[in-house]
Amino acid sequence: MDAPNVGSWESLGVSLSRTTLDSLQQLNFEQAMPVQTACIPLFLKNKDVAAEAVTGSGKTLAFIIPIIEILKKRARNDCMLRKHDVGAIILTPTRELATQIFGVLNHFLKLSPEFTSISLIGGTNPQHDFQKFKEFGGHIIVATPGRFEAMLEHSRENVNLASNVKTLEVLVLDEADRLLDMGFEASINTILSYLPKQRRTGLFSATQTSEVEKIIRAGLRNPVRITVKENISPDMLAKDQKIPLSLENYYTIVENNEKFNLLVNFLRQHKTEKVLIFFSTCACVDYFSLVLQFFIKKSPVLCIHGKMKQKRNKIFSKFRDLEHGTLVCTDVMARGIDIPEVSWVVQYDPPSSAEFFVHRCGRTARMGSVGKALLFLLPSEESYVDFIKMNQKAPMEELQDVLGKLATGFGLLNLPKMHEFKGKIIDNFNPAEIDVEKIPYRDKQREKQRQEKIKKKSWNQPNPKYSRRITVLYPGLSRRRRKLGK
């Protein structure tokens, strides 16, 4: 079934508790979005749900609200969960998405203190998670599949999570297609084997792939299928378009040696706004985030990628709280993440998957707000524009007059001292008229080592001052020695 249009919370056909309505009012959510209007009544009427929901559709509330209402109903029926009983599990593909959902969940639990929540994600010591669950419990668990599977299969500190999940009422798989893309199918199947069959299950996915269909058949009982074609509401999307009308979508054609110049100029012009910059690899994120910190002053530059461990959660939370700044990232931030007031999404590298173009753009212009996206393309990649227009139904227009020539390419002052460059002239590279030997290291120890090398080098070289004096005072010395045979 297609999702109905937006409507009031009172028109859902099911009654919500006073605390839930008060929490919605505090968040200024006056109306229910299509995916919420469709899913919440079905959950509360004991139906399994498989929803195809596009980015920014408001699906987080579509499962958080019914989870809380179902657990409240259980408590009213004198079946209150004990401290270590698990009533609901929400599985997500990334730590950032788990952290985001956990934050929204805890906003609702402020008015329902009888329920506890816990986040079980990678990047932390598993022993801490066991200790946290032992001490506080967790009626509602938000987790990544790998960490949750590990905790189910191992017991520590008198905590046996495998037995605690027997009281489960609701299981939610969020961004299910992404869960499978990231290789979590085996973990999900293991988790399902521990859970009771009598439960309500919700599966939310941007696309219904064949792999998602397997999970639907294995984990859901006669689910009601819902398709959310609109991103927010019917009047906010153009016909057959996959991006909201509130998004201004641009591209620019730029030579490779000018891309970084363009990026620096762009960020300097928008340093009072929040900007996400997508790169293709973790190494690029590390490099460019470090370099940009030297070019962009008085505006924070943070970075996130999949190889980071403990720092990711802290950086994600910090950027969410910033009024302005730049987050350099990989596609780990492309799905489901909701960061307030992102003004621009810049795609420095085109995504490997056409679907991720829309997912990246979806980090701005969310829930009816205005946002802009910019894609960098090389002259050889210009056909990508028509491909995106046809494949993803995402119109783009060219952004003009944004180039600058402050330096070249990566902003290097000179070419690296490599054997491949020795004696060669490199086209389109102009070395800076700066003596790089006089630039000290920021690290004092490295600078000390550099000075010692310079000093040692100077002792091994002949002093040109004394060579010139010998030539001037004794110009005929060498000729006289040749005559004498010396």
What tokens were used for 288? 């460019």
Q: Which of 59, 27, 158 is nearest to 49 (CA)?
A: 59
pLDDT tens string 211-237: 788 888 878 888 999 987 644 444 444
| Residue (of 270, 215, 486) closest to 399 by Cα position | 270
pLDDT of residue 473: 47
CATH topology of domain 237-398: Rossmann fold (3.40.50)
pLDDT value of residue 52: 86
Residue 272 CB contacts under 8 Å (≥ 6 apart), including other chains = 299, 324
Residue stretches of the chain with pLDDT short of 70: 1-6, 54-56, 229-244, 367-368, 400-412, 415-430, 432, 458-486
Under 8 Å between Cβ of 222 and 345: no
pLDDT at site 193: 94
Report the SS3 class of residue 174: coil
Q: Per the structure block, which two tokens stand in for 80?
A: 């209150």
**CB proximity list for 122: less than 8 A, separation 6 or greater:** 95, 144, 146, 147, 309
Looking at residue 470, what is its pLDDT? 44
For the whole model, what pTM was predicted? Answer: 0.68
Task: Give residues with Cβ within 8 angstroms of 397, minimum separation 6.
Answer: 249, 250, 251
Same fold for the domain at 7-233 and the one at 237-398?
yes
Q: Where are the domains of the chain?
A: 7-233, 237-398, 440-486
Q: How far, in Å, CA of 68 to CA of 88, rounded?
A: 9
One of 3.90.1150.10, 3.40.50.300, 2.160.10.10, 3.30.1490.480 is the CATH number of 7-233, namely 3.40.50.300
Neighbour tally for 431: CB within 10 Å: 12
Q: Evaluate whether 70 touches 200 at the Cβ level (below 8 Å).
A: yes
SS3 2: strand
In 3D space, the residue among 26, 109, 97, 31 whose CA is nearest the CA of residue 65 turns out to be 109
What is the pLDDT at residue 180? 85
**Which residues are CB-neighbours of 229 under 8 A, at least 6 positions away?**
2, 3, 54, 237
Which residues face 377 on adjacent strands?
253
pLDDT of residue 388: 85
